[in-house]
Amino acid sequence: MWLVFVQIFPYAVTYTIPLLITALGGLFSERSGIVNIGLEGLMVIGMFTSALVIYTLEPVYPGTAVWFGLMAAVIAGSLFSLLHAFACITLNANQVISGIAINMIAGALTTYLARNITGSGNILIVHSLSRKTIPVLSQIPLVGRLFFTQTYATTWVVLAILALSSFVLYKTVFGLRLRACGEHPHAADSAGINVYLIRYIGVMLSGALAGLGGAIVIVTYSGEFSGTASGLGFLALAALIFGQWKPAGILAATFFFGIASTVANVSQVIPALAVIPGIILKTSPYILTLFALVLSSKFSQVPKALGEPYDKGKR
């Protein structure tokens, strides 16, 4: 069993990382009080932008095009999320409807543009990111084999962002303000915090990170933009809730989802894993999230002002 675990571990990590960074993006938005079910669409924007940039720059900068693509996805994601921020924060629109609109616009618009560019609506990149083995660390027994062989550079970037986000959220003034806006915006306002500005930043961070998540899918395991994130954004949303809106919880939830999906995907190749039916593995993230919601209904960690438009005049 250990051998099987070691075998599938790199794939599970590859699948976990985009989910992790997208869910982390969702965390910034939701901890500031804005529901973001547009994560799926923001991922699609990241996928499209990265694929397009890499496709265009590949002939010129074969080695570094991937990194330009990732950066472009971050920028595009945060700019696109402004649509959601404007609707929810400035216009007090229904956050769920706006999120759905974001998903639909992203899917349709990117496919429309891709068809104008390539004809087929798919954008294929030639050079994906390659897996690397880290020289010294990979020699450590057990751990070295697991964590430091066959890794993507993006995995380390994402883990660094996770650590940084944890620090920002709990140890800095900005983090405190962000959480205050999600828990009790009126109190935050009377303490002199600009609730609107903080929420704009929260939503834009979610766009940036979800865009990065989409781009990582493209440069690691997919290699092709095809107009959809196939539900990864919604899975990230489930992870955000299952992880109870906390960075460490999200890490655990996404890793679990990553393992479950990988086991389901490879169970036909590895007979030892075929004992668990695929349907159970694939639906487990969603069923567990429902259970988590039921259990947490008594002592929920959900940001208290989540989904409520901030109205200065209401006390």
Judged by the rule CB under 8 A, the positions of this chain that interact with another protein are 35, 37, 83, 86-87, 91-94, 96-98, 100-105, 107-109, 111-113, 115-116, 121, 231, 234-235, 237-238, 241, 277-279, 282-283, 285-287, 289-290, 293-294, 297
Residue placing its CB nearer to another protein in the complex, 207 or 285:
285
Q: How far is the CB of 254 from another protein (least distance, A)?
A: 15
Can you spell out the DSSP letters for 12-48? HHHHHHHHHHHHHHHHHHHHTT---TTHHHHHHHHHH
The nearest distance, CB 19 to another protein, in angstroms, is 13
The smaller minimum CB distance to another protein, of residues 128 and 300, is found at 300
**Token couple for 119:** 């004809």
Smaller CB distance to another protein: residue 53 or 236?
236
Which of 4, 113 has the CB closer to another protein?
Answer: 113
Q: How far is the CB of 313 from another protein (least distance, A)?
A: 15
* Nearest 10 degrees: Cα torsion 18, 249, 99, 92: -140
Query: CB 296 → another protein: shortest distance, Å?
Result: 9
- Give the shortest CB-26-to-another protein separation in angstroms: 12
Q: How far is the CB of 283 from another protein (least distance, A)?
A: 5
Ramachandran angles phi, psi of 224, nearest 5°:
-150, 135
- Give whichever of 68 and 86 is closer to another protein, judged by the CB atom: 86
Least distance to another protein from the beta carbon of 71, Å?
A: 24
CB atoms within 10 A of CB 132: 14
CA distances from 276 to 154, 267, 281 (A): 31, 8, 7
- Provide the residue type at 8 as one letter: I
DSSP E strands, 143-291: 224-225
CB-based burial label for 302 (10 Å; 0-12, 13-18, 19+): middle
Residue 257 — φ and ψ, nearest 5°?
A: -60, -40
The smaller minimum CB distance to another protein, of residues 152 and 257, is found at 257
Compute the distance between CA of residue 260 and CA of residue 238 in angstroms, rounded to an integer: 14
| CA atoms within 13 Å, Cβ hemisphere of 40 | 22
- For another protein, the closer CB: 196 or 286: 286
